[in-house]
Structure 1
Amino acid sequence: MKLLFAAILLSLCLDASTSFEDAHAVYKEGEYKKSFEMFKKLAKDDSDAAYILAYMYEHGEGCEADKEEASKWYKISSEGYYKQTKYNYSREIEKEQKKLYTSLDRLDQNETEDTMRQYSQSLYNFKAHNANYFLPISYRYEGDYANTNGHEAKEIETEFQISVKFDIAANILGLNEIYSIAYTQKSFWQFYSDSAFFRETNYNPEAFVMFPTSELSDGRLIKSIRLAIAHESNGRGGDEERSWNFLSSSFLLQYKTLFAELKLWTRLPDSYDYNPDLIDYMGHGHIKFMVPYKKHLIDMKLKYSYNNKGAAEINYSYPAFGRDDLFLYVKLFNGYGESLIDYNNRIKKFAIGFSISR
């Protein structure tokens, strides 16, 4: 029912709108006058559209050739690209990687040359998915952890999360949708114990498609819709196994500076039902609010089940050391489901550290 609701809502929201892909498709068909008007509408907010508009002015495609207008839109396009990368500290790393590549001897075979470039520069399309953080201080001030292999867990530990995605395709249906696969790993490390064991690690691979709706008419609250299939487990066997498979639908909404994500899920049946009551604690969805204010970002996630077993999580981040890719990160959690091994234990904790994505 939840996915049916998402499909109906998607069909209502995705009305016709001009996009870069639409304009570029018309341009490739040789309809220059029509595509020229389309690119003019997009150019102020789209650096790619501004560049093509400049090219059309320069070469008189769909309009009278105008060198001044071409120069104007080339400048707007380049300024747009510069703003996108102005505070990207990884540019310096990329420069050094390119230096390594340029120091290599050139080869006559183009495909071999491409392989060398990919190898030397590590050109991969991984992006941040959920927050990537390292919290050296994670303090549980109420609740109990499950014992792990006979080890008793201390109140203070180290927590970190790695979350990446890879976009594999786009616009197959002509709806500007993006198809992605993602992987998130959250680990709880008893760093301050004598044996420094990992109390719990949760693994969450998923595949999803996102339909952006931001190009729709003004006043729309829903900015994107995402449909996903996912698995989550702690990788253990026997009595300590915790795992589930689920389908989800997510809706991103915006009202001025307030963003919200409504995510609904339904559990899929599996052969080994290790924890049949897990859904009673994990619930059937969450609502997440995000408030950016200048350089500050606060998000609050609320989860509630029909059995009065919910959770609240608040995260705060702020750029550290004047950088735009490293953030002070503070986390507060109260409720059930912080980790799979303790999904039915109510935990209250505070954590602080750093993140490299928001």
Structure 2
Amino acid sequence: MTKTFPKGLFSFLLFLYFSSQVSANDTEITVNPSQHAIFEQCLFKAIKSADKQTTLAQIETACENNIAREILNNNSGQSIELGAMANRMIREKRTAADPYVLTPHKMNYILPFSIVDDINRAAYQGFSTWAEDLKDAEAKFQVSLKIPLLTGHWLNEGDQLFFGFTLKSWWQIYADEISKPFRETNYQPEFFYFTPINYHPWGGNSAFVVGFEHQSNGQSQLLSRGWNRVYVNYLYEKRNFAFSLRPWYRVPEGEKSSPTSGQGDDNPDILDYMGHFELAMAYKHSTDFELSFKGRDNFSTHKGFVEFGITFPLWGKLKGYAQVSSGYGESLIDYNVNQKRFGIGIALTNLL
């Protein structure tokens, strides 16, 4: 029986962009073969030597993993072990060329029930008639996607340029008196460059990201919040653990001529509460459970934010998600309010 290899598998090669040699005993392999030829030759040899119980998907996965190890090794002579983050990237590239598949960026989730101890009602005073009717219980959800922009080698083997977009919203679904409005929605488009680096502390793998992002709530006048920042991000993985350290620099804005002016800085003190960096970690305990942490801090003002999350099985492929957070800056409208929040719902995608 013959089977056609899907194009999404070959798009993985476009992501890795390598030109290294393949070490093998097969004398038919030529020096510096093309990207497609390396993958095809690996498949051909593996299919010839595989037993009847081995599936084509298993063979394809093995070849993809071998190619990824070569990129991360970069002739360093080390034995490279792929972690959860690298395996996620491989899975994403299998469907990168499929127009009917959207690639997740950050975590996607829906929390139908999310309760907070303090909402920034003062921001709505004098602007809306429903400030006092806002409920502490609301729904919260996040949708985050990314699109690769480059289809050829740029600066380094395995590098890539992306456009990402994240939408996070807080919905007053339990506030019947005010027609259940969306209290706050934050929009976060960004461009970022990703590249693996030949640095393997404690036997893990590393990557480097540099990007520019805009974040705003799409409001006007007194409710408007927003800022721009440039960031760098060091990523590290080992087996089922991933680590991220992301410092940033805020792009300065001019002062407002008046509080209702459409031009100028809506929130000049936002760094006092959002800090200058974000630390994140994730651990994949099994296919059913995943733990995550995110934290920020400003060492001068001692104001920060922590968030813990866990995914757990519900039924079938559906996974539950619980989230607890404390501190400043969960949303832009609440950036200067110290909040404690708990939410529970459904995870649409995992981090790893």
* Structure 2 length-normalised TM: 0.70
**Cross-structure match for 1:94:** none
Residue 159 of structure 1 deviates from its aligned partner by: 0.6
Residue 35 of structure 1 deviates from its aligned partner by: 4.1
Q: Show structure 2 runs of 5+ residues with no match.
A: 1-15, 65-96, 255-263
Q: How does 1:182-331 map to 2 (within 5 A)?
A: 182-194=164-176, 195-213=179-197, 219=202, 221-271=204-254, 272-294=264-286, 295-305=288-298, 306-323=300-317, 326-331=318-323
Question: 2:200·2:206 contact (CA, 8 Å) conserved in 1?
Answer: no
Q: How does 1:81-120 map to 2 (within 5 A)?
A: 81=60
* 1:314–1:48 distance in 2 versus 1, CA, 3 Å: farther
**Cross-structure match for 1:354:** 346
- Find the partner of 2:108 among 111, 132, 151: 132
Residue 291 of structure 1 deviates from its aligned partner by: 1.5
**Cross-structure match for 2:49:** 72
Q: SS where residue 320 of structure 1 aligns?
A: strand
Question: 1:204·1:233 contact (CA, 8 Å) conserved in 2?
Answer: yes
Task: Among all aligned residue pairs of Structure 1 and Structure 2, give the percentage whose two residues are the same amino acid.
Answer: 28
Residue 309 of structure 1 deviates from its aligned partner by: 0.7
Residue 70 of structure 1 deviates from its aligned partner by: 5.7
Q: SS where residue 143 of structure 1 aligns?
A: coil
Question: How far apart in 1 are the matches of 2:37 and 2:296?
Answer: 40
Q: After superposition, give the CA deviation of every residue in 1:209-245 in whole Å (9 maximum; x if it has no partner).
A: 10123x6667455521110100000111112111000
**Cross-structure match for 2:40:** 51
Question: 1:54·1:73 contact (CA, 8 Å) conserved in 2?
Answer: no
Question: How far apart in 1 are the matches of 2:47 and 2:311?
Answer: 41
- Find the partner of 1:34 among 26, 31, 35: 31
Question: How far apart in 2 are the matches of 1:54 and 1:188?
Answer: 48
Residue 48 of structure 1 deviates from its aligned partner by: 8.3
Question: How far apart in 2 are the matches of 1:73 and 1:160?
Answer: 45
Question: How far apart in 2 are the matches of 1:48 and 1:162?
Answer: 37
Q: SS where residue 343 of structure 2 aligns?
A: strand
- Find the partner of 1:333 among 325, 341, 345: 325
Residue 24 of structure 1 deviates from its aligned partner by: 7.6
Q: SS where residue 34 of structure 1 aligns?
A: coil
Matched to 1:342, the amino acid is D
Q: SS where residue 345 of structure 1 aligns?
A: coil
Question: How far apart in 2 are the matches of 1:180 and 1:297?
Answer: 25
Question: How far apart in 2 are the matches of 1:122 and 1:77?
Answer: 19
Q: After superposition, give the CA deviation of every residue in 1:189-226 in whole Å (9 maximum; x if it has no partner).
A: 0000011011100000000010123x666745552111
Q: Does 1:169 align with 2:146?
A: no
Matched to 1:150, the amino acid is T
Question: How far apart in 1 are the matches of 2:158 and 2:98?
Answer: 28
Question: 1:240·1:341 contact (CA, 8 Å) conserved in 2?
Answer: yes
Residue 145 of structure 1 deviates from its aligned partner by: 2.6
Residue 172 of structure 1 deviates from its aligned partner by: 1.3
* 1:78–1:51 distance in 2 versus 1, CA, 3 Å: farther
**Cross-structure match for 1:102:** none
Larger helix proportion, structure 1 or 2? 1
Residue 278 of structure 1 deviates from its aligned partner by: 0.5
Larger Rg: 1
Residue 124 of structure 1 deviates from its aligned partner by: 4.9
Q: After superposition, give the CA deviation of every residue in 1:272-294 in whole Å (9 maximum; x if it has no partner).
A: 11110001100001111211111
Question: How far apart in 1 are the matches of 2:108 and 2:306?
Answer: 19
* Structure 1 length-normalised TM: 0.69
Question: How far apart in 2 are the matches of 1:122 and 1:175?
Answer: 23
Q: How many residues align?
A: 276
**Cross-structure match for 1:4:** none
Question: How far apart in 2 are the matches of 1:156 and 1:322?
Answer: 28
Question: How far apart in 1 are the matches of 2:216 and 2:200?
Answer: 41
Q: Show structure 1 runs of 5+ residues with no match.
A: 1-18, 40-46, 58-68, 85-120
Q: RMSD between aligned alpha carbons?
A: 3.2
* 1:177–1:77 distance in 2 versus 1, CA, 3 Å: farther
Q: SS where residue 22 of structure 1 aligns?
A: coil
